[in-house]
Amino acid sequence: MRAILIVLLSLAEFMLLPTLARAVIEVLTPLKLFIDDSSLIVVAKFERLDAAKHGAVLVVTKQLKGKETFRRLPINLQGDTPEQAAELAQRLAPELPVVLFVAKEKLAFGYVNGTWFQLRLTGEGTESRGAFTHFEPYLRRTFHGSTEVLTTTLTEALAGKSTPPKPDSHEKPGIGPKAEVHSVP
């Protein structure tokens, strides 16, 4: 996770340079880096989701790596901009699974059906909280399938049964599809 953080911070610093120095930097981040650098990888589901109040609660359903430090994670969905908060809310739904890659630096990357996003974490154990910061559209090149396929991929890779896929340099940056919301009769 430290290597991912360094790459992302380097990109952020580069974007702050004067306009004359603008260029596109393409950094492909392998899924293996997320696996190796994460102290905790879990699958969780949205127990509660209130887009109007910018809040959600994730509940861990499966531990893939590390020792879990929380079972429930309240999340502030406000984000860096109101537009991103609204976009994220359209990609979430109650009971929808999400994979969290958590680093020791209190930074987490979430993944849900093709959408990568970043969370800042605070607190410990039952006092843990998360706050959505922004999307990570270039990480679609790291992985862009369904959450179910990512969970299977991670489970097999962590068990040593397979190697994670290499980044897809042809995948266009972006965010995944909106969540399918099924009405209850």
Domains of the chain: 2-158 (2.40.50)
Residue type, 5: L
6-42 residue pLDDT tens:
444 444 443 444 443 334 446 799 999 999 999 999 9
Cα angle at 73 between 59 and 61, to 5 degrees?
20
Mean pLDDT on 155-169: 96
CB atoms within 10 A of CB 124: 10
Cα 83 from Cα 161, distance rounded (Å): 41
Q: Between 170 and 21, name the one with better pLDDT.
A: 170
Would you say 33 and 101 are in contact if contact means Cβ atoms under 8 Å apart? Answer: no
94-117 residue pLDDT tens:
999 999 999 987 999 999 999 999
Is 73 in a helix, a strand, or coil?
strand
122-138 residue pLDDT tens:
998 889 999 999 999 99
Tokens (6 digits) for 152:
């299977």
4: confidence class by pLDDT, cuts 50, 70, 90:
low
Cα 49 from Cα 54, distance rounded (Å): 8
Cα 27 from Cα 141, distance rounded (Å): 9
41-96 residue pLDDT tens:
999 999 998 888 899 999 999 999 998 889 999 999 999 999 999 999 999 999 99
Helices (H) and strands (E) counted in the chain, each on its own, are: 4, 7
pLDDT for residue 181: 67
- Cα–chain center distance at 19: 30
Would you say 49 and 94 are in contact if contact means Cβ atoms under 8 Å apart? Answer: yes
pLDDT for residue 185: 43
Predicted model pTM: 0.83
Is 163 in a helix, a strand, or coil?
coil
Cα 95 from Cα 82, distance rounded (Å): 24
